[in-house]
A and B are shown apart, each in its own frame.
Chain A
Amino acid sequence: MGLVDDYAKHRILAVQDFTLLSTRTLQSLFRSPRYITDIIQQMDFIGFGSLPIVVLTGFFTGAVLALQMAKTLATFGETSLTGQLVMLSLVRELGPVLTSLMVAGRNSSGMASELGSMVVSEQIEAMRALGTDPVKKLVAPRLIATVIMLPMLTVISDFIGLFGGFATSFFVIRLNPNQYWYSAYQALEYEDIFQGLLKPFVFAFIVALVGCYYGLRTTGGTQGVGKSTTQAVVAASVLILICDFFITKLLLWMLG
């Protein structure tokens, strides 16, 4: 019983700490000084740096989707709808979720390990001693950069995925290219685009805040840094998948 209590208490305290960090970060967005160069540096690192993996995942996700869809659709003799299905699955689900998961794997871990090593080498305390708020200097730029870059990366991933789907349907399934593009284009509606951009926007908060949260609460030397890094990736990924479900449910309910 004591163990369960302890566990529950730790979880609740963690949630409380996380909420506190999030609030402080959001508050700090409205206070000067703003560290513009840090934001740009992070945008370069998070956005441009993640491009290769996002392009690769996007392409092959689209490609494999087309492969699977075409096979299923063939049983109904409707392979012409491949484009439509690839487009919708990518824009609504796979683009946002896979891109965010990849970025979480790359950047939540990066943030956790970077901030974690700063904690264990007393750099965070030195920063406070020199009059800088670490939340403002370190967390806020990462959050802003992720919120700006993740939706962009998702759009890129969607596009590349569409090309991936096209590549398989053209070279492997031998579909008519016009048919693929036409059905894909026809299927897309504003709601889908809205959903496809809302998700990465929300996931960006998870990627950045979870990464920074685990980084800042690192204890126990270099070993602790490794632990925080792992925990950050796991927590961010799981939270993204859980949030994805609830956002989808909410949107289905709202948009009918």
Chain B
Amino acid sequence: MNVGAPEPVIQFENVTLSFGDKPALENISFSLDRGETMILLGATGSGKSVLLKLAMGLLAPDSGKIFVLGQDISHMRDLDLFAVRQKIGMVFQEGALFDSLKVGENVGYVFERMPEVNAAEAERRVLEALRFVGLEHTVGLFPSELSGGMRRRVAIARAIVAQPELMLYDSPTAGLDPITAKRIMTLIVKQRDLRQVSSLLVTHRVQDAWKLALSYYDPQQDKLVTMSRNGDSKTSFLVLREGEIAFVGSLSELAGHTDSYVKKFVT
């Protein structure tokens, strides 16, 4: 990855999208630079998942423009989007594993469209991705045979298997016990710090946000280490309120914000 002049991997310009008469997102503008992480907060139904789907090109905006990895994807057809999507990994809110396929096939699904990766190489990478989430023994199982937290981890393995430059995580730790949640957060930070992956992460849990902003992965100890008070400048926050941006900025700006809605997410 080229570290140098900041270059946005995601850029939204005045994006608006409505379902029926009700706007789900209104006039959203922000950008995320390469190698950085943005944490997306907001009440349920405020449009976080919709925003991620727009960034993946799964939904098209009514107006405004969306640039991802340098390309204007606002109104691209699915067929043309593949080249862009190949570089993005997405973890859906409910995992969205294919329940007719085994875990290994789920994780290796993306290689079906990549003839340049041969079968042996694909299998090796599938196992590697599953090892990364600590689930290599589940290769031959069906998703229905796994627990919810395991399924979430498989979904993460599926998203990282093609080594994307950009990760979109939709509530990866929602409804999980603290141990599994911590494991997943460690995984995300590891991914960020080892491979300089940019990510956009939706979460309801403030602890997750803190962890991302305030810790880094130490490969020697194989765990997360907390760093100084103010966190790194590579993590920014975006708070949504009923489809509109209530706040966008860094951790210290967020901590000092006075708006009562925004403050609720910090404490």
Contact = CB atoms under 8 A, between A and B. Distances in A.
Check if A and B associate.
Answer: yes
Interface of A: 33, 118, 121-123, 125-133
Contacts of A128: 58, 78
A85 B4 CA distance: 84
B98 A126 contact: yes
B92 A125 contact: yes
A125 B98 CA distance: 11
Contacts, number: 46
A122 B93 contact: yes
Given A121-B94, A122-B92, A122-B94, A129 B58 contact: yes
13 contacts: A33-B113, A121-B99, A125-B53, A125-B58, A125-B96, A128-B78, A129-B56, A129-B85, A130-B109, A130-B113, A131-B82, A131-B113, A133-B79
Given A122-B96, A130-B110, 12 more contacts: A33-B113, A118-B98, A121-B94, A121-B96, A123-B96, A123-B98, A125-B92, A126-B96, A127-B98, A130-B85, A132-B112, A133-B79
B99 A123 contact: yes
Contacts of A133: 78-79
Interface string B60-76: 00000000000000000
B75 to A, nearest CB: 15
A55 B93 CA distance: 45
A205 B86 CA distance: 33
Contact of A132 (B93, B96, B97, B113): B113
How many of chain B's residues touch chain A, expressed as a range? 20 to 34
Interface string B178-201: 000000000000000000000000
B78 A129 contact: no
The 10 A-B residue pairs with the shortest CB-CB distance, nearest first, are A126-B96, A122-B96, A131-B82, A131-B113, A122-B92, A130-B110, A129-B90, A125-B58, A123-B96, A130-B109
Contacts of A132: 109, 112-113
Among A118, A121, A127, chain B packs the most CB atoms within 10 A around the CB of A121
B110 A126 contact: no
Given A131-B85, A131-B113, A126 B78 contact: no
A131 B83 CA distance: 8
A125 B109 CA distance: 14
A129 B92 CA distance: 10
A125 B49 CA distance: 12
A35 B256 CA distance: 55
Contacts of A122: 92-94, 96
A118 B109 CA distance: 16
A129 B155 CA distance: 12
Interface in B102-135: 109-110, 112-113
A122 B155 CA distance: 12
- Name the residue in B85, B96, B110 with the highest tally of chain A Cβ atoms < 10 Å from its Cβ: B96
A130 B98 CA distance: 12
A49 to B, nearest CB: 15
A126 to B, nearest CB: 4
Contacts of A121: 94, 96, 99
